[in-house]
Amino acid sequence: MSRRKLSHYEFSAKARNVIEAGKPLYTTVKGKWNELYFNNNNPVVLELACGKGEYTIGLGKVFPDKNFIGMDIKGDRIARGSLAASESNLDNVAFLRAGIQYSDEFFEERELDEIWLIHPDPQVRDRDENKRLTNPKFLEMYSRFLKNKGMFFLKTDSTFLYEYSLETIGASPGFEILEHTDDLYNSTLLAEHHGVKTHYENIFVGKGYSIKYIKARLKY
């Protein structure tokens, strides 16, 4: 492990805004994010596969009256997000280091108001469909965590994942697609993103890729 990564892991181990294995909240926070971490009753928003937390932090700045959780398995990325959130004094932002497939261990039914999925790996090979974060298995899990009429958002540069997700979300018994576009930057829906971009999104756009977006809502 590089010295830089080691320093990131050491930072996360001490950071209050990182929940990871070995810390008390890791096993007790399920169903109690507002009570045990945020100490308020504000809406709770989860960003899956958050990377360095750029979107989680960006939305946290725009919406101080909401609570944001960035979830990712990569400890060095989580550490960068943790540091950036701390430097911006964002008490409404937390990070959870865990695999998304284990989300049931950290979120209770009807605990979340929104779920965001920003530029995930599209997993284009057929044999990797079970890893796509909009496959039916994951969508069913998200539907359990969301509150009544809770929102699900997908933003991607991948035409493949966009079209796949339109199909899976559209066929899902739990979700209904409200709006979608295959060219977000030339759509009236762009305003819903509040100018928040990730590092990789800037790269994608610079290379001429269009950004796709799906907004869905829990039916019940």
What is the CATH classification number for the domain harbouring 16?
3.40.50.150
Give me the pLDDT at residue 13, please.
82
Q: Which domain holds residue 156?
A: 3-218
Tokens linked to 87: 């430097």
Judge whether 59 and 93 are in contact, CB under 8 Å.
no
Give me the pLDDT at residue 60, please.
98
Distance CA 79, CA 4 (A): 11
- As annotated, the active-site residues are 121
pTM of the model: 0.95
Helix axes 54-62, 75-87, angle to 10 degrees: 30
Return the DSSP state at 115: E
Give me the pLDDT at residue 8, please.
64
- What is the count of structural domains for the chain? 1
Location of structure tokens 């540091």 = 83
H-type alpha helices, 88-195: 136-145, 159-171
| Residue 86 one-letter amino acid | S
Per-residue pLDDT of the chain (220 residues; tens, 9 = 90+): 555 665 666 777 889 999 999 999 999 999 999 999 999 999 999 999 999 999 999 999 999 999 999 999 999 999 999 999 999 999 999 999 999 999 999 999 999 999 999 999 999 999 999 999 999 999 999 999 999 999 999 999 999 999 999 999 999 999 999 999 999 999 999 999 999 999 889 998 999 999 999 999 999 9
Give me the pLDDT at residue 7, please.
61
Judge whether 47 and 96 are in contact, CB under 8 Å.
no
| Residue 129 one-letter amino acid | E
Distance CA 75, CA 104 (A): 20
